[in-house]
Structure formats: C-alpha cells, structure tokens
Structure 1
Amino acid sequence: VYGDSSRTVAPRSMIPEGGAFSWLLAGLIPALFSFGGAYHGTYIAGSVRNPERSVPRGIAGGIVVVLVAYLLVNVAFLGLLGHDGLAASKSPAAEATELALGPLAGKALAVVIVVSAAGILNTVCLGFPFVVYAMAKDGLFFRAAGKLDERTGRPALAVATQGMLASIAVVVGASRVDVLLTGIAFADAFFQAAVAVVHFRARKTPPSPGVLRAPLVATAVFFLLSVGIAIGSLVERPVESAYGALVFVLAVGIWALRRGSK
C-alpha cells in the first residue's frame, strides 16, 4: 500500500479550478489551525514559573512534536485510505485505525479523539480569556472583564464572555461548519498579521527587562504568511471570509465605544 504512489497523489480531476497560488494560500487554512495553538502558552505566561525560559521552550518543543506527529499520521491515512478515501471520509482517524487494527480499535480511537477534543477546549476556554482580561486592564475592553475571581484567581467574567460568544458562533454556524471554520481562520490570520505589525513597531523602543523579542526575519515571514492566508481565503471563499471580517468590524466598534467613553 505504502509503495503505491497513485493512492497518495490527487487526480487532476480533483484539483480545484483557480490559480494555484491562491489555492495554496487557501489550503494553508487547515495548517493554520494545526499550528495556531502554538502561541497559546503566552496567554498564561504570567502564571508560569520562569516564563522567559519555559514558555519559548514549550512552544518550540510543541511545534516540533506536532509537526512530526501530523506528518506521520497523514502518511498513515494516505497509505490506508488513499486520496479518494481520505477526501470522502468523515472520520479518517477511526476508519484508518479500523482498517489496520479492526472495528474495536476504530471505536476506541473515536472515544480518545472526543476526550482529546475536550482537552483542547479546556485549554482554549481558559487561555483566551486572559487576553480579554489584559485588554480590560489596559482600558481596551470593558473594565468589569479585568477583574479576577477572588476564589479561583481567574478572570471569571472574561471566561463567561468567551463562552457566550463561542456558543453563539456554534449555533449560528451549526449548519455550515466550513463557513464557521473559514471565517475564524480568516480572522485569525488577520489578527496574527496585526500582531506582527505590533512587533515591528515595538522594535523602535528598547525592550523591557524579561521581554522576549522575536527575530526580525521570523516576524517578517510570519506577517507575509498571515497576510497571504487572509488574501487567499478572501479570494477563494469570500462569503465565508466575510464572517471573519464581521468579527473585526465588531471589534473596532467595541474599541471605538470604549475610546469614546474615556
């Protein structure tokens, strides 16, 4: 199976129409999701011991582990299911495992995937609210979100706010998950490009003690990739990307509201 290259190469009839470059950029959206969580560790750096050392090591190590694991998993999927089977599969991990180890193993892996999904949800739900908390402390979001719960020491209101917004997004996009994911990816790419711009501007001032500064070349490459992904998504999937653009419109509105209230 693994020696049959015809099973791992997409037939020309399956290659979508349109410019190859723009489709390449649009195809980077899943990759953005795969590695987009690498920087989540920075959100809770204030609660980590020796963050200047442990956070960069954790991010670099996590990227390497995920990269190797994803490559090996995709080789296994293509070898077991083939390109056509992988494209048509709704649960490739379970189906590939079932082919290799039997029906019971496939069902067991499906349960493991559900548990893993719960784990990443826990990480996201507890990590992102610290961004909202920091924004509120800086006067960029509603002041009430900048308070920590006395019992847990966590930004409870920020957690609740994110949960509410996430629930609304799931309800609205339940019938079209592709719209939801593409919109989020577009917004995420735009956000990351904005972060790179902030890094460029920050280089004009001396770094504060304990602050890590990304290399200029890495920041530039990150910026170009983020902008490219956003453009590719907008060109090939304009309707889905519009939902992501709506997020920015709402964010600018909240920022303007907060600025006007000062």
Structure 2
Amino acid sequence: MGGPASEAASAADAWGERLPRKLGLWSAVAVLIGSTIGSGIFRTPASIAYHIDEVWSFALAWVAGGVVALAGALTFAELASMYPRSGGIYVYVREAFGRLPAFLFGWAELLILRPAAYGAIAVTSSEYAWRVLGVDHSELLLRVGAVSLSRAQLLAIAMIVVVGAVNRRGVEFGAVVQNLSTVLKVGALLGLIALGLVLVPGELPMHAATLRPEAPAFVLGMVAILWAYDGWCDLGFVSGEIRDPQRTLPKVFILGTAAVVGLYLAVNLVYLRVVPLAQMVDSPLIAADVAAALVGPIGVTLIAAAVVVSTFGTLNGSMMTGPRVFYAMAEDRLFFSALAKVHPRYGTPTGSIALSVALGAVFVSVRSFAELAEHFVIGIWPFYALSVAAVFVLRRRQPDRPRPYRTWGYPAVPLLFLAASLFLLISYAVQQPLVFAVDLAILLTGVPVYLWWSRRAA
C-alpha cells in the first residue's frame, strides 16, 4: 500500500511501523503540550466558575483534573512503550479488547470527535486573529448553496488547509511549527503568571460567591476542566514516528503532562488573585481581562495574539496526530485502503491527512453541528477508560511481553483513573440523559459499518 521507502521502513522497524521515525524527545514534548494547551485555559474558567462557586472547590476541581490527567498519562506510558505504533488508543483497545471496540473508537473520531476538534479550534483561532486586526469576524463574505460563510469561517478553513499542507510535507516539518508555537504559548502563560504574582499582592478571597447545589455542579465543572486538560493522550497517535520510542514515550507522557498541570494550576492562581470568583462568571475571556487589569488595554491585544498562536499550534498538533487513527484503521483493512498509503517522499499518510482536512472544513462550514460536537466530547471518555483497563488485561494475557516502563503506582493509579472515568460518565448520564443517549446512539451506528467492512476485508 506504500512505496518502496515505506516498505524499507517497515522492514527496518522493530515493530513493523511503515511511517518513518523522525520525532525526537523535545518534538514529542511539544506535540503533547501543544495538543493539550489550546483555548481551554484562556476561556473555560468562566464556565467552571458558573458551576463551582467556592474558591476551595474551584481549586480542588483543577487539582483533581490534573491528578486524573497524570494518572492517565502514567498508564498510557506503559501502553505506548509496549505498542509504539501509529494509532494510539485504537491500537491499545484493539490489542486488549478486539477489533470492534477499536473500530468504534475510530468511528467516533471520524464522525464527530476529530472534525469537531478541527472546527472548534480553527474557528477560535480565526475569531481571535480578526480581533487582533480589529476586523468584524462575523461578517458574511461567501454563500455556497444554502451555506453562508463568515470571515471567521473562511479563515478557519484556510488554517485547516495550511496545517494539512504542512503535515503532508513530513512529520518533521509539522514538528517545526509545533515546537515554535508551543514555545510561544508556554512563554505567554509564564509571562501572565509572572506578572500576576509580582503585580498583585495579597491573599485569595476564600468566601463563597453564591449558593448552588454542589455535587451536580462540581461534575459539570469537571467536564469543562477535563476538556481543558484533554490532549495529553494524543502523543500515542504518533508513537510510530518517534525515535527510540520505548525510552522516549514514557518520559514525554509523564513530563509533558506534569508540565501542563503545573502551568494550569499556576495560571488559575493568577486568575483568582486578579478576578474574584463571583466576577469570573461574567468574564468569558478571562485571560484577556486579567491581562488588561495587569498591563492595560495592550494586554487584551497581547492575550488575543497569544490565543491565536496557542490555538493554531493545537490545530497543527491535532493534524499531526488525528490522521494516524484513520491510517491505523485502514492498515487493518477496516477503512478505505487509500488512507493507508504512505507518501514515498515525505513518509506521511497523505490520504488520511486529506480526509482530515475535508472533515474539518465541513465542520466549520456547517455550524449547526457545533452544539452536538460540544456535547459529544464526553464520548471520548469510554475509550480513555478502555485504554487504561487494557493495562490490566494485557498484563494477564501477555505477561512476558517486554515492558520498558511499568505504570508507577500500579494498580492504584490506573484504578484511580477508571474510578474517575466511571464517576464522570455515570454522573453525566444522570444529569444529561438525552445528550448521553444521542452520543451512545451515534457511537452504535458504527457496529453495522464494522460488520460490513469486516466482511469486505474477508
């Protein structure tokens, strides 16, 4: 299915990977951090403050989200070092539970999750870019049939096409963009943290803002927080392109996730020092408001520019990682064979990248899918849970398989992640039964599709 270069790479690679291994340690760190830090940390605190109205609870929720993310990263590090192949979660679920659950993950990625990520990230980056330029992003510029496209939508589509073209040219080319954007976004957050700690003396106000029921509100706040932390697992999708993977992958999963958690906790401390929790509810662009309070109107422009860089980097990271899921499915003959082709010169799954670009452009153009996609974010968590559960299954089934890294704190750490996943999913199902039912129904449409592909492959 690939050219001579890919066949030679497959023969030379100890794990049978056909994509060339070109990513080093720091590029892999940039992929993880860049895929995680997007627009969430700049925006979600306002929605979390709406649900969680007490400072200690607000802080506890962010700490809890960080602990869950670290528990997941510690566990994924074992899986990635065992199976350093393209596809990440798809590969882990397939090896532990079979092809159908793995296909359903790919089906969810294809139908909603990945195009939703491309669309939502690109639109956010585009809107902030026009804001920096002082131009109205909502003005309609183009009509295609029944679809009207605004200035923000057109630029968002252009961004998706650009990152697709960048990643088509080679994973190392995409890594250059990722490294640069990650340095800039981390630098912006560190600058905001430093300004907040130096310029705003005093202690945090620890009183409650209003009275709302705690348990359901805490769960809804956690959903938003886990969305902000989401992305730490994306490194697994490009495991097949990382050099010395059995040593590099555990380091990157653990160090990269820990760095994100530390940054998030520090920047939320600054948010709380500058904007009281009661006022944070009315501050959807909290980072811009904090920057304005610290350095004046210029701070708003600087933060808007930082969000553009941050979200563009996240979009690039998502384009580096997401197509590898479709590539892995096609290699298993559960998807169109063209998606498993590797470019003979660039060593990239060009068909899968082209599909990802098309999906993102469609999502941006048809904005009516936005609400569904936002709710369907919860659909990724069953597969996170399955991946972590795979550690227990594979230790029993394949006790002699080489494990260069074993999950620290096993079995308590993966059990903690599983408990958090079940708590989140059950609570969400109780509080949002209709949305949960729709999510499940969309996921189950993949079963007959899988059966058809399986017969076709046979």
User: For 1:151, what is the secondary structure of its paired residue?
Assistant: coil
Does 2:436 correspond to 1:241? yes
Unpaired segments of 5 or more residues in structure 2? 1-200
- Are the equivalent residues in 1 in contact too, given 2:205–2:276 (CA < 8 A)? no
**Residue 138 of structure 1: aligned partner:** 332
The number of equivalent residue pairs is 254
One-letter amino acid matched to 1:181: E
Match of 1:163 among 357, 371, 380: 357
Summarize deviations over 1:86-114 as a string: whole Å, max 9, x none.
Answer: 11112110111001111012211111111
Q: 1:139 to 1:176 in 2, by over 3 A?
A: closer
* % identity of equivalent residues: 24
Aligned mates of 1:228, 1:163 — CA distance in 2: 35
Match of 1:123 in 2: 317
* Structure 2 residue 424 is matched with structure 1 residue 224: no
**AA matched with 1:32:** L
Is 1:260 paired with 2:260? no
Counterpart-to-counterpart distance in 2, 1:79 and 1:178:
32
Measured against aligned partners, the alpha-carbon deviations of 1:112-155 in whole angstroms (never above 9, x if no partner) come to: 11111000111011102112211221233333322212232111
Match of 2:401 in 1: 208
Evaluate the alpha carbon distance shift between residue 151 and residue 200 of structure 1 in structure 2; reply closer, same or farther with a 3 A threshold: same
Query: Would the aligned equivalents of 1:196 and 1:219 in 2 still touch at CA under 8 Å?
Result: yes
User: What secondary structure does 2:445 align onto?
Assistant: helix
Relative to structure 1, the CA distance from residue 206 to residue 141 in structure 2 (aligned partners, 3 Å threshold; closer, same or farther) is: farther
Give me the whole-angstrom Cα distance separating, in 2, the residues matched to 1:10 and 1:170.
Answer: 37
Amino acid at match of 1:149: H
**Kept in 1: contact 2:288–2:304 (CA 8 A):** yes
Q: How high is the TM-score relative to the length of structure 1?
A: 0.84
Which position in structure 1 is the counterpart of 2:86? none
Distance 1:65 1:251, change over 3 A: same
Superposed CA deviations along residues 219-248 of structure 1, whole A, max 9, x for unmatched, are 222222222222222222234434533442
Alignment of 1:101-120 (within 5 A): 101-120=295-314
Amino acid at match of 1:74: N
Instruction: Give the match's secondary structure for 2:399.
Output: coil
Find the partner of 1:188 among 380, 384, 403: 380
**For residues 167 and 234 of structure 1, do their structure 2 counterparts lie closer, same or farther at Cα, with a shift above 3 Å needed?**
farther
1:179 positional shift? 4.6
Rate the CA distance shift 1:216–1:259 in 2: closer, same or farther, 3 A: farther
Q: Deviations for 1:181-233, whole angstroms, at most 9, x for unmatched residues?
A: 2311x111112122233333222223534665543332222222222222222
Distance 1:195 1:251, change over 3 A: farther
Query: What one-letter code is carried by the residue in structure 1 that aligns with 2:245?
Result: P
Q: Judging changes above 3 Å, is the alpha-carbon distance between structure 1 residues 118 and 239 closer, same or farther for their aligned structure 2 residues?
A: farther
Q: 1:197 aligns with which of 389, 405, 411?
A: 389
Number of the residue aligned with 1:51: 245
> Is 1:187–1:247's contact at 8 Å kept on the other side of the alignment?
no
Mapped to 2, the partners of 1:207 and 1:135 lie a distance apart of 27
Amino acid at match of 1:46: G
Distance 1:68 1:157, change over 3 A: same
Match of residue 219 from structure 2: 25
Counterpart code for 1:11: T
- Deviation digits for residues 146-186 of structure 1, max 9, x if unmatched? 221223211122223233334444455x36856532311x1
Moved more, 186-195 or 222-231: 222-231
Query: Is the Cα–Cα contact under 8 Å of residues 23 and 232 in structure 1 kept in the other structure?
Result: no
| Of 205-214 and 228-237, the range deviating more from structure 2 | 205-214
TM-score normalized by the length of structure 2: 0.51
Alignment pair present for 1:96 and 2:290: yes
Mapped contact 1:136–1:145 kept (Cα < 8 A): yes
C-alpha distance 95-132 of structure 1, shift in aligned 2 (>3 A):
same
Q: Which amino acid aligns with 2:205?
A: S
- Please say if residues 180 and 240 of structure 1, whose CA atoms lie closer than 8 Å, have aligned partners that are also in contact: no
1:10 aligns with 2:205: no
- 1:63-82 deviations in Å (ceiling 9; x for gaps): 21111111111111122121
8 Å CA contact 1:141–1:258 kept in 2: the answer is: yes
- Larger RCO: Structure 1 or Structure 2 (Cα < 8 Å, ≥ 6 residues apart)? 2
Aligned residue in 2 for 1:61: 255
Q: What's the CA shift string for 1:14-59, capped at 9, x where partnerless?
A: x2x4xx4444333222232233211211221221111111111111
Q: Which amino acid aligns with 1:228?
A: F
Contact 2:385 2:418 in 1 (8 A): yes
